[in-house]
Chains A and B, each alone.
Chain A
C-alpha cells in the first residue's frame, strides 16, 4: 500500500486516449469508432483535490474509470502510485485498485444486504484483514464520517447524505493513496452535499483526490479544475 504522504505526483496521465470501436475496444451499438478521451494529460499530487468538469459525454467518467483501473487506455499511459496501470493484468489491476484506489459513486452503490459497518469493511474482506480488525477499522471510519451510531443500520434505513458518507468511509477503508469520486454530490441536496465535500477535503491530507462533477459549486471546492469537452482538455 502506498502511503498518503508521497512527495511526487500520485497520478500521472500522459497523452491518454480511449477509443471504443474498431481498435480493440468494445464495439459501439452502430459499429462506429468513438473517441471518448483524446490525448488527455493530467497530474495529481498527494494532498491535492482536483476537479474534472465537463458536460455529459465529455469523457469525465471514462477518465475516472481509467484512473481507477476499471478500464485501460487505447493509447498513452496512466501511472498511479508509480505503477503503470495499463501494463497490469486484469487480476493484478483488481488487486492494485483494492490497495491503492478508493471509489465514491454518485449513487453511493452500497450493498443493500449489508449493514453500514459491513459495507465499510468490504474492501478489507478481499484484502484478507482479520474480522476483528475489519470491524474496528470500519467503526473508526464511521466515527470519522460522523456515523458511529449508524453502523448496524442497513442502507435502506439511511438518508442519501448518510449513505454517501458510508461510501466515503468505504473508499478510505484500505487507506488508499488515491480517491476517485464520480459526481459525489449529484444525488444530494446542497446542504448535505456541502457536508460530503467537507468530508472529502478533510480526508485529502496526503491523498490525491479526483472529483468529477458538472456542478460549479462542487468544483469550486477543489484546488484546481480540469475541463473536458468532447474527450479533450479545454
Chain B
C-alpha cells in the first residue's frame, strides 16, 4: 500500500509539488511568526544584559510635552543628588542618571535635523561603549556641584547612524541644541563614536554630558533625568538591592533588567496583543491551509481510491494510503520549510533592521520548528484521515459511475 501511495504521488508531480509548497507555507507562517515574537524578546533581553546595568530607576511615565524644548518632560527631578544618594548604598557600585531629549543637530549651523540627544554624567566611560575615539574625557566642569555655572566641555559622542547621516568622524564639530537658535550657538567636538544608545533606541543619537543636555533643553533648573541606571557591586544580589532601595525611595520604581523589559513590553500592550494574535492566526491559518490542501488532494483521488475499494481493498487500506500520502507531503513540506526558514528569517531581519534599526528581531527558536512539525504532522493526520473517511463514504460505486 505504501508503494501505491508513493506511485500516486509521483503520478501527478505538479499537484504533489503544489501540496508540498502549501504545507511549507503553513509551516513557514508558524516558524517565522514565532521567530519574530522570540526575536523581539531575545533582542530586548540582550540589550539589557549588554548594558552592564543591574537595576533601573524610573519615576513614572515620560510625558510628551508638545511645545517644550526637548519634547519630553523627564520624570526624575534632582537626578544628580539622587544618583549620589543611591550610589552611597554599600551594594551599589555606580548609579548613573541619564536623560533623553530631542535635539537639533547640524554640521554647518544651517541645515538642522532632529535626533535623540542623550545625556550621561561624568566622563560617561561606564555608560557608553566607545567604538572610535576616546569618548568624554576630563572633569565635568559645567555641572560645578549643581550650579551649572562651569564651562561646558562641548564634547559629543555620536552613534554610527548619526555619524553616517552627517558624515561625521572623530575630531569634527557638530552643532547641538534644544532649539535651532541655541544649536547655532553651541558647537561640540566629536570625541567618539558609540552604538550604545542607538542599539537601545533603534535610531541615531548624540550623547553629551547630562548637565549640558539639561542646559540646552531647559531641564537644568530642577536637574531632571529620564532614568537612573544602577550597577551593583560584585557578588551583590540585584533583587535584594532593589528591595532595599525601593524601601528607601518609595516615590521611585526600581526594576531589574528583566522587569524593565517586561515593563517596556507592557507599555506596548496593543502591539503585543497584535503580535500574539498574529502568531495565533498564523498557526490557525497555516493549519487550515495545510488541512485544505491535503483534503483536496485526497478528494481529487477519490476515483483511484474507489477503484481500490472496488477491487477488494478494505477501507482501512484506503485510509492507510491516504495517510501515507498526507504524511509524505507533510514531511516534504516541513523539510522544505525548515530549509527555507533561516533564509527568510535573514531577509526579514535585514528588512527589520532597515526599518527599525534593531538587529536580530527575527530569531526562530527550536520550539517554533517543533510547532511547525506539529502543525504539519497533526494536520496531515487529520487531513489524511478525514479525507479518506470522506472518500470512503463515496468510494466504489458512486465515484466510479461519474
Contacts and interface: CB of A to CB of B under 8 A. Distances in A.
A126 B313 contact: yes
B8 to A, nearest CB: 5
A68 B310 CA distance: 9
A126 B312 contact: yes
A158 interface: no
B311 A170 contact: yes
Q: Interface residues of B: mostly helix, strand, loop or mixed? A: helix
Interface in B353-402: 396-397, 400-401
B311 A113 contact: no
Interface string B89-132: 00000000000000000000000000000000000000000000
A98 interface: yes
Nearest to B303: A109
B263 interface: no
Contacts of A94: 309, 312-315
Interface string A61-77: 10001001011000000
A80 to B, nearest CB: 14
A109 B312 contact: no
Contacts of B245: none
B310 A111 contact: no
Nearest to B313: A126
A65 B311 CA distance: 13
Contacts of B317: 126
B402 to A, nearest CB: 10
Interface in B279-311: 303-304, 306-311
Given A61-B401, A70-B397, A113 B8 contact: yes
Given A65-B397, A71-B397, A122-B308, A113 B314 contact: no
B1 interface: yes
Contact of A113 (B304, B313, B397): B304
Interface string A87-110: 000110011011100010101011
Between A110, A112, A170, the greatest number of chain B beta carbons within 10 A of the residue's beta carbon is seen for A112
A112 B311 contact: no
A94 B11 CA distance: 27
B249 interface: no
B298 to A, nearest CB: 14
A123 B312 CA distance: 6
7 contacts: A68-B310, A94-B313, A98-B312, A105-B400, A113-B10, A123-B311, A174-B312
Nearest to A171: B311
Between B304, B306, B309, B312, the greatest number of chain A beta carbons within 10 A of the residue's beta carbon is seen for B312
Contact of A103 (B8, B310, B401): B310
Contacts of B396: 70
A174 B304 CA distance: 20
Contacts of A90: 315
A122 B304 contact: no
A95 B312 contact: yes
B236 interface: no
B7 interface: yes
A157 interface: no
A91 to B, nearest CB: 7
